[in-house]
Structure 1
């Protein structure tokens, strides 16, 4: 039984890696967990070389752009990130906000992630917003 379970886990892990945003089968989640998607969005706060997106501005952005699309809840964490600026050829380190969203598979919710990222880039003159989506087992 142990070996069969491990083979199944390895096969599912490999398949999820190859497929990308594939959902987990319900049988992979231990009760009371349910298969859902876990999305993380990383929002850089610099505008140019200075901190430009204040806590108040990010709170307003969350209220206007994220919460209406994901009213069931979210988590916001202060963080620090880094990325390579391809235009200037150097590593940029900046304060960031990491937003975690958990939701059932839904094409409209997936599209909402892109809409949120685009709204942030437009509003705060950002080059990019990192969006990562992965299947997960969730219980509340």
Structure 2
């Protein structure tokens, strides 16, 4: 059986990619490796911005701060996504960044926050991203 050069190269790349692992972040003195979460909240309800600043602040006070009282960062954002009907939807948003202390305890809390936001503001989704980082305060 003869394998073409392109197929052989693809197989070699696949085999090598299995050997690549992400190294833990290098931390300067005082830093520790932690899991950092970013929650992505859209603010449109239908075609209008339905989640105002005051409503979002109340949501943070009621849903996020009690689960993560040690602290968080909120950043204004602008996002876009492709709706099921194919059109591009652009909307203002908020990104909440939280350094997790205890992954087993905190990851379910992130899911609870996302579910509460979807329910309260009739949202299709809330983005939740996590990454390893070196953190020092």
- What TM-score, normalized by structure 1, do the two folds share? 0.79
Matched, 1:66 2:64: yes
Structure 2: unaligned runs, 5 residues or longer: 1-19
Where is the helix percentage greater, Structure 1 or Structure 2?
Answer: 1
Computed over aligned residues only, the root mean square deviation of the Cα atoms, in angstroms, reads 1.8
For residues 97 and 129 of structure 1, the distance between their equivalents in structure 2, rounded to whole angstroms, comes to 10
Superposed CA deviations along residues 75-115 of structure 1, whole A, max 9, x for unmatched, are 111110011112x2111100001100012242110110111
The offset of 1:29, in angstroms, is: 2.1
Dislocated runs of 4+, deviation >4 Å: none
1:139 matched to 2:97? The reply is: no
- 2: distance between equivalents of 1:41 and 1:95? 14
Q: Secondary structure at the match of 1:58?
A: helix
Give the distance between the partners of 1:15 and 1:114, measured in 2 at CA. 27
Unaligned runs of 5+ in 1: 1-13, 18-23
Matched, 1:112 2:106: no
Larger radius of gyration: 2
TM-score by length of 2: 0.81
- Does the alignment pair 1:52 with 2:58? no
